């Protein structure tokens, strides 16, 4: 494993002992707050205490203290265990940039692009990556064009997938088969505060694959196949976070050419968005082809999350992986393979 550079100056944090001083951000105000708290708890439990000293900050209430500590030089790096709006959309990344504090995860632009599913799909299409056909719907647009539900089914077929453009963890995700169901799903998405993306439903096998690093040092991890339990047509919120609601096969039991294609697409999606550090892309394999659904720039890191399972399948401890993310944020030009 590559050693980290010595931490920078500034007065020490209590108990720092000359270690690299980590601001662990978890919580926040989004609908994914509880997942974020669990991600942060897992990171804290797995942190290499021989190298790092962590102080926790909840952006919902601790931003003034974080700013004060950063400006006083009491922090070396931030670990962003945040999910959803305010944590994954470029907002907190912009604050880190203003504070001059290195941080894990992607930068402001890549974070904002990936969080907006419609914008991300524009980037993917421009990069030649396969995505499902879609339409964008807004509350104002629906008011001006009440015929939109019928036109959507005509253009994309039935059933349709409805999802918010700016939320993660499958919040607001719905599968609808008629105009009444679509109208209800659109109201639900609009009430969450943003436009809705309507996508052609592609039946098939669900996979997810993470990419870690950047540039020539980018590494795709072993993909996972996700098999939702009966009653779940896709990997929705309850299938993700409630016990026994899905089977996650890691590494995926798929043909080598499928595995290779998923890893290639995960790496290409990471590059197309300009990601660094870590991303996780979700796929549907339908009619002999893998389609890219979306990319998450701060995927979950809870004990039940997908990325830690991929990390273990890669042959790496989660403690070593956290060290990689922090060293990468500190600009040390690290390669994930060096941590095996």
Q: Do residues 208 and 292 share a domain?
A: yes
Q: Do residues 121 and 221 share a domain?
A: yes
Q: Do residues 211 and 185 share a domain?
A: no
Where are any strands of DSSP class E within the chain?
20-26, 52-57, 77-81, 134-137, 160-164, 174-176, 196-200, 205-212, 219-220, 224-228, 246-249, 278-286, 289-296
Q: What is the pLDDT of residues 51-60, one digit of tens each?
A: 999 999 999 9
Helix residue ranges per DSSP H, 157-255: 179-191, 237-241
CATH number at residue 244: 3.30.470.20
Q: Helix, strand or coil for residue 260?
A: helix
Q: What's the number of CA atoms in the CB half-sphere (13 Å) around residue 79?
A: 31
pLDDT at 230: 65
Asked whether the whole model's pTM tops 0.85, one would answer yes
What b/e string do you get for 176-200 counting C-beta neighbours within 10 Å, with b at 16 or more?
beeeebbeebbebbbeeebbbbbbb
Q: Do residues 64 and 117 share a domain?
A: no
* More confident call, 147 vs 13: 147
Residue 237 has pLDDT above 60, yes or no: no
Q: Do residues 65 and 126 share a domain?
A: no
Catalytic residues: 32, 169, 241, 280, 282, 294, 296, 300
Q: Do residues 179 and 273 share a domain?
A: no
pLDDT at 267: 98
Residue 251 has pLDDT above 80, yes or no: yes
- Percent of the chain scoring above 70 in pLDDT: 89
Q: Do residues 286 and 217 share a domain?
A: yes
Q: Do residues 218 and 269 share a domain?
A: yes
Q: Distance between terminal CA atoms of the chain?
A: 7
Instruction: Please give the DSSP secondary-structure letter assigned to residue 123.
Output: H
- Percent of the chain scoring above 90 in pLDDT: 79
Structural Rg of the chain based on CA atoms: 20
* DSSP β-bridge partners for residue 55: 23
Q: Do residues 207 and 286 share a domain?
A: yes
Q: Does 262 map to a domain?
A: yes
Residue 76: give the domain boundaries.
20-105
The total number of structural domains in the chain stands at: 3
Torsion of CA 141, 147, 150, 154, to 10 degrees: -80
* DSSP β-bridge partners for residue 48: none
Q: In the structure, how many helices (H) and strands (E) does the chain have? A: 12, 13
Query: How far is Cα 300 from Cα 292, in angstroms, rounded to an integer?
Result: 19
Q: Does 173 map to a domain?
A: yes
Average pLDDT, the chain: 90
Q: What is the pLDDT of residues 6-28, one digit of tens each?
A: 333 344 555 556 899 999 999 99
């Amino acid at each position: 494993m590559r050693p980290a550079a010595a931490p920078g100056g500034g007065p020490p944090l209590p108990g720092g002992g000359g270690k690299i001083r980590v601001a662990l951000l978890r919580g926040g105000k989004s609908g994914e707050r509880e997942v974020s708290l669990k991600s942060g708890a897992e990171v804290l439990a797995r942190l290499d205490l021989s190298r790092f000293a962590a102080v926790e900050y909840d952006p919902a209430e601790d931003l003034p203290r974080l700013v004060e500590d950063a400006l006083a030089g009491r922090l070396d790096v931030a670990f962003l265990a945040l999910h959803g709006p305010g944590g994954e959309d470029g907002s907190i990344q912009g604050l880190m940039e203003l504070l001059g504090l290195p941080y894990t995860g992607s930068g402001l632009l890549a974070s904002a692009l990936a969080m907006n599913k419609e914008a991300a799909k524009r980037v993917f299409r421009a990069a030649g990556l396969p995505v499902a056909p879609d339409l964008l719907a807004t509350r104002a647009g629906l008011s001006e064009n009440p015929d939109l539900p019928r036109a959507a089914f005509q253009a994309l077929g039935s059933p349709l997938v409805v999802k918010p453009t700016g939320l993660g963890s499958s919040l607001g995700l719905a599968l609808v088969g008629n105009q009444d169901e679509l109208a209800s799903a659109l109201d639900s998405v609009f009430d969450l505060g943003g436009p809705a993306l309507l996508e052609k439903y592609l039946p098939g096998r669900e996979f997810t694959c993470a990419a870690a690093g950047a540039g020539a040092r980018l590494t795709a991890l072993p993909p996972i196949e996700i098999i939702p339990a009966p009653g779940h047509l896709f990997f929705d919120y309850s299938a993700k976070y409630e016990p026994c609601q899905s089977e996650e096969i890691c590494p995926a039991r798929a043909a080598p050419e499928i595995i290779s294609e998923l890893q290639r697409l995960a790496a290409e999606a990471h590059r197309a968005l300009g990601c660094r550090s870590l991303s996780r892309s979700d796929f549907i394999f339908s009619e002999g082809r893998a389609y890219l659904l979306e990319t998450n720039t701060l995927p979950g890191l809870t004990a039940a999350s997908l990325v830690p399972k991929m990390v273990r399948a890669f042959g790496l401890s989660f403690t070593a992986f956290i060290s990689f993310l922090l060293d990468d944020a500190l600009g040390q030009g690290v390669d994930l393979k060096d941590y095996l």
